[in-house]
Structure 1
Amino acid sequence: MSNLILMAGVFLVSFVVGYVLICRVPSLLHTPLMSMTNAISAVTLLGALLLFSLPTTRLEKWLGSLAIISATFNVVGGFAITDRMLGLFRQKGPSE
């Protein structure tokens, strides 16, 4: 139980620090920031998958499932947005 409280505390502190830092990022740097959050979500996804390889309680499995769903949503959404943004820079073919 103390590990869960420690992890919740780390999550809360990282959430607050992340929120404060992202609010201060200029809009010009949001694209590189998005790619970095995709990488962090991929690490979260791997960590949650590793959680399922260990004997865990029902609460830990539920939190791991929530982490997998959230991180997958973030990674897929980030790649979709990045693809749309890159589409803005593609050269169009000759008009017919």
Structure 2
Amino acid sequence: MTTVYLLFILILAVFVGFELIRKVPATLHTPLMSGANAISGITVIGAVSLAGGVQHEWATWLGAIALVLATINVVGGYLVTDRMLAMFKKR
């Protein structure tokens, strides 16, 4: 029964996230990306603590996967933000 609740929360989070991001105007994408990078940085810290902890083997693997995905998100987000901000610099 707990799995059903967790699956429901995951589907609801995906739907709400998609609807929120879809309605963001183009001028707000850079600040939104910066905020997402901060949140992903917190995710990296949580993933490191999960991957390095002494739990079940599946928790360690899940933490390692979360660490890789969150790191890709942070690095990619900063690269995109830097590129977007470079468009506003004077040449």
Same-fold call, TM cutoff 0.5: yes
**What's the counterpart of residue 85 of structure 1?**
84
Structure 2 residue runs of 5 or longer lacking an equivalent are: none
Q: Which amino acid aligns with 2:59?
A: E
Q: TM-score, normalised by structure 2?
A: 0.79
> What is the aligned-residue RMSD (CA, Å)?
2.3
> Structure 1, residues 22-53: CA drift from partner, whole Å, max 9, x if none?
11212221111111111111010000111134
Q: Which amino acid aligns with 2:55?
A: T
**What's the counterpart of residue 42 of structure 1?**
41
Secondary structure in 2 matching 1:52: helix
Q: What number of residue pairs does the alignment pair up?
A: 91
Q: TM-score, normalised by structure 1?
A: 0.76
Partners of 2:7 and 2:47 lie apart in 1 by 15
Structure 1 residue runs of 5 or longer lacking an equivalent are: none
Q: CA deviation at 1:66?
A: 0.9
Partners of 1:5 and 1:51 lie apart in 2 by 23
Rg comparison, structure with higher value: 1
Alpha carbons of structure 1 residues 51 and 10: separation in structure 2 relative to 1, 3 Å: farther
